[in-house]
Amino acid sequence: MSGIVNCAAYAGGRRITDVKIEEISEVLKQPDRFVWIGLHEPDADLLKQVQAEFGLHDLAVEDALRAHQRPKLEQYGDSLFIVLRTARLNPERRGIDLGETHLFVGARYLVSVRHGASLSYADVRARCEATPQLLAKGPGFALYALMDFIVDQYFPIVDALEGELEALEETIFGETLSRATTSRIYELKRDLLEVKRAVSPLVDICNRLMRFDIPLIPDDTRLYFRDVYDHAIRINEMVDVLRELLTTALEANLSLIAVSQNEAMKKLAAWAAIIAVPTMVAGVYGMNFRHMPELDWLYGYPAAMAATLGICGALYFGFRRSGWL
């Protein structure tokens, strides 16, 4: 069926058989088994079938169908509904593509629903199946494996953003300032904000999963969520540091732009002062007065030119010495 990536039954940590959606209720009649379903952008009919087999809450199913939810953890009776944001680098537009994963967790089932940009969870399932002694802990351990995989995908993204920041710093302090640099800084700030919005709620989600008020998570599984919690804390700290550095880089870029503009204004002012001297002399001799003593002097023209060039030269060397030219 379209939208179903994988649907299997497990017992004692080992994969027993693949299961059809309509056969799930029969499989769950056996007390030692649980079902793990992976869905990718399912339609409403498929979600209704899954809802009927597990008795999922209408509000949770509605959120999983529409997507565009914030990261959260909600408890509906004897089941959990968890929303996580996934991220993937897009090298074509030098940005981040975001997606969502919705998880329904019960005592004997785990349903994952992927929307948008997200890597396949086939490797997660394979690693869990390779460690049956851990998978025997039930859906709680499978939930940890998925959350750990999703959180770990943010580390290469943060590393890539850090590399972008380093390249920007070299551009800011080593090359000609441009408008594109400022634009890229704002794009990086927006990407970091998206990562912050996606990862920050994970700290609270993991904190709740580690507490003892959620009976669906076995005691021997809570320790694993501490590892996800530590990873979420690290990513949050890395993002906060990058945001501060990026803010500093933006301020430095704007300051250097202001300094560059000030240098340009100083050069313009210096040249304007130099050009003002011949302009004044020409203005004086251009006036239509009948009696001008200098007009009858034999050396008047050479003296005026020499004085003009001398004053202009003195101003030029004076501005050069002061750093204005």
Q: Is the pLDDT of residue 324 over 80?
A: no
| Euclidean distance between CA atoms 4 and 43, whole angstroms | 10
pLDDT at 1: 56
- What pTM was computed for the model? 0.76
In the prediction, which pLDDT does 81 show?
Answer: 92
- Better-predicted residue by pLDDT, 225 or 178: 225
Looking at residue 175, its pLDDT comes to 64
pLDDT value at position 93?
Answer: 67
Are 1-132 and 259-322 the same fold in CATH? Answer: no
CATH fold for domain 259-322: Methane Monooxygenase Hydroxylase; Chain G, domain 1 (1.20.58)
For residue 78, pLDDT over 60 is answered with: yes
* Both tokens assigned to 268: 């313009």
Q: Give the C-alpha separation, 318 to 270, whole Å.
A: 10
Compute the average pLDDT of residues 114-125: 84
pLDDT (0 to 100) of residue 2: 67
Range scoring the smallest mean pLDDT among 30-44, 91-105, 289-303: 289-303
Average pLDDT in the 195-217 region? 83
pLDDT at 48 over 80: yes
Q: Where are the domains of the chain?
A: 1-132, 259-322
What pLDDT is stored for residue 146 in this prediction? 92
CATH 3.30.460.20 fits 1-132, yes or no: yes
From first CA to last CA, the distance across the chain in angstroms is 75
